[in-house]
Amino acid sequence: MLKSKYYVWFLLILITVSCDSNSVFDQYRSMPNQWHKDSVVSFKITPPDTINNYNLFVNLRNTNDYKYSNLFLVVELNYPNGKTFKDTLEYRMAAPDGTFLGTGFTDVKENKLWYKGYDKPFVFNEAGEYQVNIQHAMRENGEVYGVLNLEGITDVGFRVEQYNTN
């Protein structure tokens, strides 16, 4: 009986992993209770090649403690040879009625947010290690200073997928 239980778990894990064949890189960093405005979440990526096209995503998990309908992020992409691109991005996190976007059946919603590749394919055109830095840039309406501790974001991730035209 115990042997068949392990077999079922193995099959479930295998099916889950095999269904995600487009993934080249997919990592998360857990946030403690809050995401401090000065806290930078970093990922180091060594792409498999310098010729193929890729889609890049910022992945977030949020709970009902997240009290905004949008999210501003500063995402910095550092190339192996020293070039840096820094983008300030805004993402919708909730529908107009306040219902959180994203997937998930519990109070945790997973959001797969486009970073690069949505308008034209992204190519890692330099060989070596890239670094992605992600920082929140949330502000209260009318306030100059940012939200010191952003509540409701439990995990920040970064994902690279093989380019898919669908």
Helix (H) or strand (E) holding 88: strand 84-92
Mean residue pLDDT across the chain: 88
In angstroms, the CA 13 to CA 165 distance is 27
Whole-model pTM over 0.75 = yes
Give strand pairing partners of 110.
61, 103
Q: Provide the pLDDT for residue 19.
A: 57
Does the pLDDT of residue 67 top 60, yes or no? Answer: yes
Matching residue, tokens 């983008």:
87
Q: Is 11 helix (H, G, I), strand (E, B) or coil?
A: helix
Vertex 24, ends 133 and 94: CA angle to 5°?
60
